[in-house]
Structure 1
Amino acid sequence: MLPVYRQKDTLVHGLHPLTSLLLIACMLAAALLLDNPLHLALLAAGMLSLVLTAEVARECAVFLRLGLFMAALVLLINPLVNHQGTHVLVYGPRVPALGRLDITLEALAYGAVSGFRLLLVVAVFGLAGTILNPDELLSLLSRFSFRTSLSAALAVRLYPSMVAEAREIREVQLARGERLRGGGRWERARAHFPFWMALFQGSLDRAACIAESMSARGFGRGKATRRRRPFRGRDAVFAALSLLGLAGAVFLAAGGKGDYGFFPTLENPLRGFTP
C-alpha cells in the first residue's frame, strides 16, 4: 500500500507548497537531464539528506523497494541486449540473426547508471508524496483550475478511507471463513463479488456524506475567507536554491557537461566538472 501523507514538525514539512513543488521539480529535472554518474551521485546525496531532514525514511521505503527492483531489472537486462563496448567481460554464444552475445564492461556500466537514474526518479515521486501537503498543494493549484483541483482533492481524500475499508472488509470475510483463493476463475469471481459490492456501497455512502458536509458548510455560495500559509524567508531561500539548481541542470545538459559517454569506452566522469 502506498504511504499516506502525514504532517510532521520538520523544516521540510513547514515549507510553502510552492517552495516544495519547486524543490521536487528541481530534483526531477536533474535526474532526467543529467547522465554523469557523479552528478547523479550528488543528487542522491542531496535527496538522502532531504529524506533524513523530513524524517520520512520509513514512508519512502516503499518507493525505494520498487525503484531498486526496477533498477535491478535494467541492470540485468541491458548487458544481455546491448553488446557495445571494447572491454568484454564474458564471451557469450553466437546466436543467428543476433550475433555474438558478449557482455561488456561498458554495457554493464550503462545499465547500472540507467537503473540508478530510474531509482532516483521513483524516489523523487515518493518524496513528493511524503512532503507535499495535498490540501495545500491543491489549494495552490485551485487558483488556475478550480474544478480540476476540487476533483483531485476529493480523490485524494477518498483514497485512504477506501484502503482502510477494503482492509476491514477483507478481514471480516476471512473471519467468516470465506474462501478468497483457490478454485477456478468463476469461483474466485463469486468469492470476491461481495467484497467489491461492499466497497462500492461504502464509496457511495462516503460521497453522499461529503456532499452533505459541503452543502452544510455553504459550498458554492460565494467566496469565503481562508487562511493561506505565508511565504516566509526560508521559503524564499529554498525557492531560490531550487531555481538555481534547476537552471544549473538545464545549463549542464545544454552545454554537454551533464553528458557522459559509455561507448566505445567509459569516459572520465570528472570531465563534467572541468571547464
Structure 2
Amino acid sequence: MRYRRRASPLHAARAAAGGAWCAAVAAAALSAEHPLVLAALALVVLAGAAGAGVGREVGKIVAWMVPWALVIAFVNMLVVRDGLTVLARLGEVPPFGQVDLTLEALVYGGQFGARLLLVAAAFAIFTVAVDPDDLLRLMRRASVRSALAATLAVRLVPVLAADAARIDEARRCRADGGGDGTAARLAVLRAVAGGALDRALDVAATLEVRGYGSARRRSGGSGVPWSRHDLAFLGSAVVLVALTVASRVAGFASFGTYPELHSSGVVEAVVLGIAYISVALLPLADRRGIVR
C-alpha cells in the first residue's frame, strides 16, 4: 500500500491540509462514544476513501482489522468483570476465578474495537492519499538533513523490494532450484543488504559532490498559494476538531457502559453524526481543478 497520484480533491490538496483532515477524522473516532456517532464516522471514512479513489486500498486495511476488532470485543468480555447484565456464567475458570460474561463488557469491547478500526482506516487514507514528498517538505524548516534522510529512506524501500524480487527470481531459475528454506532466504537477505550498502555509498557520494551537508541551507516556503482544496480540507479539519472538543466538554451524545448501558439520547447522537458527515465530506464534493 503506497501513495499514487489520483484525480481527487484530497490528492489535489497539499499535504498539510490533507494530513490535518485525516488526523481530525481519527481524533473524532477516538473521542466518539455513542454507537450512532461511530457509525456516522464509519460512513465518513468509507465515503472519504471512495471520494479519494482509494476505496480498494482502504478496504484491505479494514478487512484486515475487522478480526482484530472482534477479538478485542471478545477478550474484553472475558477479562472484565464489571456490568450488571450477565449473558453467561462460565463458573470458576482457573486462574481467573469466577467468570461472568456481561453485555456491558461486550459493548465496551466492541466500542473500543470500532474506534481502533476507524483510526486505522483514517490513517490508511492518509498513507495512500497524502503526498509523502510534500509531507516531507514540511520538515525543511525544522531540519533539512532529517527531511532529506527520510525522503531517501522512503524512496529506497521500493527499490530494495524490487531488488529482492529479482534476486529471488534469479535464484529459483538455477538448475538446482536455488535451494529452499531458511538458507535460501538468508542468501537473498545478504544480497539485498549488500546492495543496500552499495546504494547508500553511491547516494552519499552523489550528495557530497552536490554540496549537501557542507553548509546550512535556508529553506523558505514553496511560494505556491493555497488552493480552494487546501482551504476546504484545512477548514474541515478545524471544524471537526472544534466539534469533537465541544461535544466532549458539553457531554453531548455521551454513551456509558458501566455499570449499565446508558446514553444521553438518540437525537443528540444523530445530530452530531450528521454534523460530522456534512463537515467531513463537504471538501470532497468540489471536484473542480483536481488534476494538477
1:10-67 Cα deviation digits (max 9, x unpaired): 1110011111121022012112222222222211111111100111122223322332
Are 2:26 and 2:122, in contact at CA under 8 Å, matched by a contact in 1? yes
Q: CA RMSD in A?
A: 2.6
2:191 matches 1:193: no
2:230 matches 1:235: yes
Shift of the 204–125 alpha-carbon distance from structure 1 to 2, 3 Å rule, reads same
TM-score of the superposed pair, with normalisation by structure 2:
0.81
Shift of 1:219: 4.5
Shift of 1:207: 2.4
Shift of 1:255: 2.8
- Match of 1:101, SS state, is strand
Shift of the 225–271 alpha-carbon distance from structure 1 to 2, 3 Å rule, reads closer
Which structure 2 residues correspond to residues 14-93 of structure 1 after superposition, within 5 A? Answer: 14-93=12-91
Are 2:49 and 2:125, in contact at CA under 8 Å, matched by a contact in 1? yes
Shift of the 158–237 alpha-carbon distance from structure 1 to 2, 3 Å rule, reads same
Which structure 2 residues correspond to residues 160-239 of structure 1 after superposition, within 5 A? Answer: 160-176=158-174, 177-181=177-181, 188=182, 190-211=183-204, 213-214=206-207, 219=212, 229-239=224-234
- Match of 1:206, SS state, is helix
- Could you say which residue in structure 2 is the equivalent of 1:111? 109
Which structure 2 residues correspond to residues 91-130 of structure 1 after superposition, within 5 A? Answer: 91-95=89-93, 98-130=96-128
The letter for the 1-side match of 2:245 is V
- Equivalents in 2 of 1:169, 1:271: separation in Å? 59
- Equivalents in 2 of 1:259, 1:171: separation in Å? 56
- Equivalents in 2 of 1:226, 1:261: separation in Å? 47
Shift of the 142–66 alpha-carbon distance from structure 1 to 2, 3 Å rule, reads farther
Shift of 1:214: 4.0
Are 2:23 and 2:123, in contact at CA under 8 Å, matched by a contact in 1? no
Q: How many residues align?
A: 266
Shift of 1:245: 0.5
Shift of the 191–122 alpha-carbon distance from structure 1 to 2, 3 Å rule, reads same
2:247 matches 1:252: yes
- Equivalents in 2 of 1:70, 1:34: separation in Å? 19
1:202-225 Cα deviation digits (max 9, x unpaired): 212332443455456664676699
Are 1:257 and 1:271, in contact at CA under 8 Å, matched by a contact in 2? no
- Could you say which residue in structure 2 is the equivalent of 1:185? none
- Match of 2:262, SS state, is coil
Shift of the 268–223 alpha-carbon distance from structure 1 to 2, 3 Å rule, reads closer
TM-score of the superposed pair, with normalisation by structure 1:
0.86
Range that drifts further, 264-273 or 24-33: 264-273
- Could you say which residue in structure 2 is the equivalent of 1:184? none
Are 1:38 and 1:269, in contact at CA under 8 Å, matched by a contact in 2? no
Are 2:17 and 2:233, in contact at CA under 8 Å, matched by a contact in 1? yes
The letter for the 2-side match of 1:112 is G
The letter for the 1-side match of 2:200 is A
- Equivalents in 2 of 1:172, 1:256: separation in Å? 62
- Match of 1:84, SS state, is coil
Are 2:88 and 2:102, in contact at CA under 8 Å, matched by a contact in 1? yes
Shift of 1:175: 3.1
- Equivalents in 1 of 2:264, 2:172: separation in Å? 56
What are the ranges of 5 or more consecutive residues in structure 1 without an aligned counterpart? Answer: 182-187
What are the ranges of 5 or more consecutive residues in structure 2 without an aligned counterpart? Answer: 272-292
Higher relative contact order (CA 8 A, sep 6+): 2
- Equivalents in 1 of 2:226, 2:196: separation in Å? 37
State the percentage of identical aligned residues.
33
The letter for the 1-side match of 2:10 is V
Shift of 1:156: 0.8
Shift of the 214–229 alpha-carbon distance from structure 1 to 2, 3 Å rule, reads farther
Shift of the 143–272 alpha-carbon distance from structure 1 to 2, 3 Å rule, reads farther
